Structure formats: structure tokens, C-alpha cells
Amino acid sequence: MNINSPAKVIGLDSYRSHTSQGDDLTSISRLALKLQQSIEIEPLMKVFCEETAWLVPCDSVSYSSVDQILNFSTGEKQLHHCKYRLSLEGEDLGEIFCSRDTPFSIRETDLLERILSLLIYPLRNALMYHNAIAQAHRDPLTQISNRAAFNEAIDKELSSYKRHQADFSLMVIDVDHFKKVNDTYGHIAGDKVLKSVAGVIRQTIRRSDEVFRYGGEEFVVILSNTKKGGAKFIAERVRKEIEKLIVELNESINVTASIGISSSEMMEDVSLTLEHADKALYQAKDLGRNQVVFCP
């Protein structure tokens, strides 16, 4: 196959034609069974990539979703490749990329397309499940992760810390005088302020950091692999960016926020990082708001 060939679309018609061939290859049947055994995207694609690399064979097999958020691969990419876009009933399910250091034969690409046809329905179901879980962990107003997502993320962070002793920090951010915004301008204005603040936080923190709407006007940021000094720097940068924010509705609304920080680096019991950060937040408010306070 031409190494620069465009992606070929594998869809419902291909699925029907391949499954009607009555091919009883044991290895294909085994893969088909395995693909039906998981509704979760990660184990599904792990099985597919590993089995396909062995069956064809390939030096690498990778999958990427339409939005590039989901990516799975095995092996290392080589010069010669086959690229397929998966589709079902007009829905784009993502792209499969297979490569190796020698060209693929027609027989091998036919086999690969048969294997891909077996993936169509399990992949569609796994993507639907993944999206449903993602929606359950997303705040509908700000479109950032919610409190349930934070609880899972902080448990993972604590487990990682216990295994690797990699320090992390937490920021708790609270919009100053938010009740006054609602009382003065109305809840539509309040919602716009919260969405704007969430956007500023997300754009200001690093890609490795995670932001969550914890409740009301309060946000929490997990700063992985970050000690006290780095956390202070990021928090101050976030505070300054929020201070620049002007929300336009019927009139201009200036916004500020208070931020409390805690770091595993400074604590004996790292499970109390949220409590310490929350305590620091209240200190920031008591000291006049629109400032960053670190809780030792």
C-alpha cells in the first residue's frame, strides 16, 4: 500500500460484507469474542491494537478518536502504513493507523479490513459509554469537571503520592463577593461570571493541571508534581488573570478571587490537603480578599 495513501473508510457496508463471508479463522473468531467482552474504551482498544499487531502482522497499531482526546497505541511507527477511518451510520468513530518497515500486501490489507469491521460495533458502544461517564463528571454550567470527578482524581493523586512520593499541591479558588453579584445583577450574570472564571483558570494553569467546580462559586485545582514554590507562582498568576477579567452584561462587572493553597510537601498527613487549602482560603478572605494564602 502506498505509504502516503489517504484514510480508507470502514463502515456498516464493509461490516456486512465481511461478516457474511463465513471465514472461520480461529484467530479472527477469538478476537471477535474478546472485542465483545469490554464496554470500556481503554481495555477494548488495548486488546484490538495488540491482537491486530500480531495477526497482520504490524510493527505498530494506534487508534485516535475524532477529537483526539482518546489515543491508544502499541509498538513504534514505521515507514509503510495503512490508515482507516471508522464510521457507522454517518457517525465518525475515529481512525486506525497501522505501520511496519515493509509494504503491506493486498491479502494483508484485506485481513486488516476484516478485523476492523469486527471493531465497529464494540467501539461505538464503548464510545457511547465513555461519553456518558464523561458527562456525569462534567459541570453543566462551566463545562469543567465536577465534584465527583475531583473525588476520583484526588484519590488517584493520593495513591500516586504514596507509591512514588511525588509531591502535589491544591488550590481552592473562591469568587469574591459572588452573592452580591447575584443580588445586584441577577443569576444570569452570576452564571456568566462563573463560566468566565472557569475559562480563565483553565487557560492559565498548565496542561498537566486539573480544574474542578467544587460547588457554588468555588473551584479546586490539582497541581501534580508541584511543590510549594511552584504552587504559589501558579496561584498568583491565576489570581492576576481573574483580576483582569471584566464580564460584560448590561454593565461591566469586575471580578476578583481569593485563593488558598496547600502542598503535600509541608504535611504529615497528605489526605488533609483539601482541608488545609480550604483553611488558607478563609484566611485570604479574612485578610481582605483578592489574594493568595499558603497554609503550611
Active site positions, annotated: 217
Report the chain's C-alpha Rg in angstroms. 25
Phi, then psi, of 255 in degrees rounded to 5: -125, 140
Residue type for position 292: V
Distance CA 256, CA 56 (A): 58
Task: Quickly count: other Cβ atoms within 10 Å of residue 275's Cβ.
Answer: 15
Residue type for position 144: I
Element (H, E) at 33: helix 26-35
- CB contact at 8 A, 213 and 178: no
Distance CA 124, CA 118 (A): 11
Distance CA 146, CA 136 (A): 8
> For residue 57, is the peptide bond before it cis, meaning its omega torsion is within 30 degrees of 0?
yes
Grid cell locating 167: 509531591
Residue 123's nearest CA partner among 13, 18, 49, 44 is 44
Grid cell locating 35: 472485542
